[in-house]
């Protein structure tokens, strides 16, 4: 946190924007934009990765209740594969800001670059640890995506998706090699592409036999 910065200070009509899911091998990248209400403070906001799951869930409900406006958006696996993960993330952030029912005076984006927006914007490196609205956005995005991964665990058992959330852990990579990719895996990511190629080769070998 920067010296002299009051993390609890909520600036009027400033939207915080963050994403979750750039690194995983499967699932959508999820973004959120949040405009907090200075008159309805939310205690305990922080980078979602620094909070327990129970705390994130509690704050998720409080943010949805107290925020002046919020929007959760996404870019699907097909868009990630078509555009690449960076451009898909920028598209999802753009959708989140455009989905706000209140037009912000400024959008503060977690990271070092901004999507193309119709409102003034500025990047904030490690913004989820510095700007309350970005922290709130990080919580909405992470809880949303984690819930989706838990649902996919039931649809695609055996990959451990509910635990690793799609990230390339040894458990995930082993399952990917053993079971092959699912429809929610990102074909443009190297380990998934290799699994698709291995499956195709195995299929050709079985066909020729």
Digit-coded pLDDT (tens) for 54-101: 999 999 999 999 999 999 999 999 999 999 999 999 999 999 999 999
Q: Which among 136, 147, 134, 132 is positioned nearest to 62, based on CA atoms?
A: 136
Residue with tokens 């039931």: 154
Q: Which among 206, 28, 44, 208 is positioned nearest to 139, based on CA atoms?
A: 44
**Contact by Cβ (8 Å): 134, 110:** yes
Model confidence pLDDT, tens digit, residues 152-201: 999 999 999 999 999 999 999 999 999 999 999 999 999 999 998 887 76
Q: Is 18 labeled as ligand-binding? A: yes
Structural domains of the chain in order of their starting residue, each with its CATH number: 1-209 (3.30.420.10)
Q: Classify residue 91 by burial, with Cβ atoms within 10 Å: 0-12, 13-18, 19+.
A: buried
**Using CA atoms, how far apart are residues 187 and 77, in angstroms rounded to an integer?**
8
Which residues have C-beta within 8 Å of that of residue 119, sequence separation ≥ 6?
15, 97, 103, 104, 105, 106, 107
What percent of the chain lies above the pLDDT cut of 90? 86
**Mean pLDDT calculated for residue range 47-59:** 94
Q: Is 128 labeled as ligand-binding? A: no
Q: Is 6 labeled as ligand-binding? A: no
Quote the pTM value. 0.91
């Amino acid at each position: 946190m920067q010296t002299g910065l009051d993390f609890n200070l909520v600036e009027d009509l400033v939207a915080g924007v963050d994403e979750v899911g750039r690194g995983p091998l499967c699932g959508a990248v999820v973004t959120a934009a949040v405009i907090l209400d200075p008159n309805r403070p939310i205690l305990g906001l922080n980078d979602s990765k620094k909070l327990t799951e129970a705390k994130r869930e509690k704050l998720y409900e409080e943010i949805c209740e107290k925020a002046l406006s919020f929007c959760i958006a996404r870019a699907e696996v097909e868009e990630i594969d078509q555009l690449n993960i960076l451009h898909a993330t920028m598209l999802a952030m753009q959708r989140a800001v455009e989905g706000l029912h209140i037009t912000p005076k400024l959008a503060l984006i977690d990271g070092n670059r901004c999507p193309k927006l119709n409102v003034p914007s500025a990047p904030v490196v490690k913004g989820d640890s510095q700007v309350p609205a970005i922290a709130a956005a990080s919580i909405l995005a992470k809880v949303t995506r984690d819930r989706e991964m838990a649902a996919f665990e039931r649809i695609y058992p055996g990959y451990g998706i509910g635990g690793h959330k799609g990230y390339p852990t040894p458990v995930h990579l082993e399952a990917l090699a053993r079971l092959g990719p699912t429809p929610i895996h990102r074909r443009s990511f190297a380990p998934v592409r290799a699994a698709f190629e291995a499956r195709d080769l195995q299929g050709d070998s079985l066909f020729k036999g």
